[in-house]
Homo-oligomer: A and B are copies of this chain.
């Protein structure tokens, strides 16, 4: 009962009394094999418990059944649910997922590309938002079939699958406008992060559509961190006029805003409404629970993998960017604007 080394195609062939070529055909092109032979082969496969040796197959075919996932941080909850979609789709199509964690370290990124060069991976899913270091050079570097997710990716040859940031932010701002807010601040403006820039555009779109004057718009920069939300609130409080609602570039910023406002003694959502973007695990657990734009993560993953596998088959997508429109998750952090100008309702905590 001790480990008999795995059955090979030869074992099957011998048992079925055919050649190994026939076994291979019976598996991959069964219609080219006589029914009786096919039955004998299948029988032999069952008896031996044969599974094709994927290494040999890949070597022979010059291409593997692995997809390399390169992500800056595999621990990021925003990341992991996309992974679920990627995995589900890949598995159904017979592919495996090879994952890496680069922490945006160029050296690590480079190292992972060895999986590509050594033919261990057939395609690449990028979470990093940039072409891997070492691929810009025009030398021997060959960029394999690649699809970007998570971070908008501005490169002519690489399809991007992600959330429609602009439409999502638009939904959020429209929600606020619909219930009466007019002075809505945007927290988390950025000059470099493409996704943030687009969210800001959605914000502007919504306000402009309703003719909200520029004087009522307040845009604070930020980097998406909780701390940046806090800081933005402090800065706003040094101005003469406060918004009634905060549209934040992401949930962590929104949480920072909520914390800062609460620390100042305000009663949320009564005094101020706050809305986020992403729907991270924490969003439902702060008080007030955060109304936010939910990333369709699993769908993004599925879609990205579908696109990559088509690419592997030589089919290019029509659109370079495939943007999925997100929905609002309504929780408790948004309500109608206060009738009178906001004021401190309680003591500092």
A340 beta carbon closer than 8 Å to chain B: no
Q: A55-B58, A59-B59, A87-B101 are in contact. List 18 more A-B contacts (CB 8 A).
A: A1-B138, A4-B140, A49-B117, A49-B139, A54-B115, A54-B119, A54-B120, A55-B119, A55-B120, A73-B84, A74-B83, A77-B80, A88-B101, A91-B111, A96-B100, A97-B100, A281-B282, A285-B285
> How far does the alpha carbon of A81 sit from the alpha carbon of B79 in the complex, in Å?
12
Closest to A120 in B: B54
| Residues of chain A in range 72-118 having any CB-CB distance to chain B below 8 Å | 73-77, 79-81, 83-84, 87-88, 91, 96-101, 108, 111, 114-115, 117-118
In the bound complex, residues from chain B placing their C-beta under 8 Å from that of A84 are 73-75, 101
Closest to A286 in B: B285
Closest to A287 in B: B287
Nearest Cβ on chain B to A286's Cβ, whole angstroms: 5
Query: Are B100 and A91 closer than 8 Å at their CB atoms?
Result: yes
In the bound complex, residues from chain B placing their C-beta under 8 Å from that of A51 are 114, 117-118
Given contacts A59-B55, A140-B49, contact A97 B96 (CB under 8 A): no
Query: Are A77 and B77 closer than 8 Å at their CB atoms?
Result: yes
- List 18 A-B residue pairs with CB atoms under 8 Å apart, sorted by A's residue number: A3-B142, A4-B142, A53-B59, A54-B119, A55-B118, A56-B59, A74-B80, A74-B84, A75-B77, A75-B81, A75-B84, A77-B80, A87-B101, A91-B108, A97-B98, A97-B100, A282-B285, A286-B287
> How far does the alpha carbon of A285 sit from the alpha carbon of B287 in the complex, in Å?
8
Closest to A84 in B: B75
> How far does the alpha carbon of A343 sit from the alpha carbon of B120 in the complex, in Å?
64
Query: Are B66 and A98 closer than 8 Å at their CB atoms?
Result: yes
Contact of A53 (CB < 8 Å), options: B52, B74, B79, B119: B119
> How far does the alpha carbon of A138 sit from the alpha carbon of B287 in the complex, in Å?
54
Contact with B along A251-262 (1 / 0, CB 8 A): 000010000000
> How far does the alpha carbon of A228 sit from the alpha carbon of B247 in the complex, in Å?
34
> How far does the alpha carbon of A23 sit from the alpha carbon of B80 in the complex, in Å?
41
Given contacts A58-B55, A97-B98, A282-B285, contact A117 B6 (CB under 8 A): yes
In the bound complex, residues from chain B placing their C-beta under 8 Å from that of A117 are 6, 49, 51
Query: Are A98 and B101 closer than 8 Å at their CB atoms?
Result: no
In the bound complex, residues from chain B placing their C-beta under 8 Å from that of A83 are 74-75, 99, 101
> How far does the alpha carbon of A96 sit from the alpha carbon of B108 in the complex, in Å?
13
Contact with B along A41-55 (1 / 0, CB 8 A): 000000001011111
| Residues of chain A in range 284-307 having any CB-CB distance to chain B below 8 Å | 284-287
